Amino acid sequence: MRNTIILLVISVLTFCFVSCGEEENATARIQKQPNGTVLNRTVVVRPEKEVKIPMLKKPSLPPVNTQTWPMIATGLTKCYDNTKEIDCSEVPDDFAGQDGQKRYGTRSLVKENNNEIVYDNVSKLRWTKRINSDLNWYEAKAYCESLKLNNKTWRIPTTAELRSIVNYGKVNPALDKIFYEDASGSAVSDEAEDLKAQLSDWFWATKHVHFDSETDVEVEGETKKRLASSWIINFYDGFVEYTSRYNKYNVRCVSSDN
């Protein structure tokens, strides 16, 4: 019996000694690893109801060449049937809804900066009174972006912006006289006439997104180069077209600064 108790005590002491040695050796091994990480065994308590945070969507840009301002009047004041001009107050149902009859929107243009700038109260855009001529699209873009006038940032207008100043009630040029009258307000002075003569022509707008680079195309079995294109507007009557950026036309710069 006595021998049994002695053996039991020896077994317990041996077990305790071995366990402590293993713990010390494990600690030593961890300490010898300079890049090691001691695990944090703190229990993570999850909330009873998981809160889901919605993903934020990036704001989408407006589509290219889209009008972002209130309706601007077209300038049309006359009405027609299929053969002749008619009284806008007596338009038959078959021809109802013409611009000359409804006259939606407004036109409100004023001079700024000693008649060097035309400000549109509807679109909130500023336009240079003077134009630059005989430029390809790349030259026109560089000209507008380097323009120093009234501490504003200038650029080539979008097609929608440039079209907003077309007055479809006028022709040769299809513009309000504020764009060519002189500083005194005269639209028939020599200065005004010289400027007016330059305006019934093509003017550059932004690039054509579908023809934004030079590509090879097959034409009647031959490979030809299709040049990058940009939009243009003819201010004789407001016609919109697109063409190669290497053609030479006019440019009127715009600023959307406040």
- Domain-located, residue 209: yes
- Domain-located, residue 28: no
- Domain-located, residue 161: yes
- Domain-located, residue 67: no
Question: What pLDDT, in 10s, does the model give residues 69-125?
Answer: 888 988 988 999 999 999 999 999 999 988 888 888 889 999 999 999 999 999 999
Closest CA to 178 of 126, 256, 113, 115: 115
Partnered with residue 32 across adjacent β-strands are none
- Domain-located, residue 98: no
- Domain-located, residue 134: yes
- Domain-located, residue 102: no
pLDDT of residue 16: 52
- Domain-located, residue 218: yes
Q: What is the CATH number of the domain that holds 230?
A: 3.10.100
Question: What pLDDT, in 10s, does the model give residues 11-50?
Answer: 655 555 544 544 444 444 444 444 444 444 444 445 555 5
**Domain limits at 227?**
130-255
Number of structural domains in the chain: 1
Question: What pLDDT, in 10s, does the model give residues 162-179?
Answer: 999 999 999 999 999 999
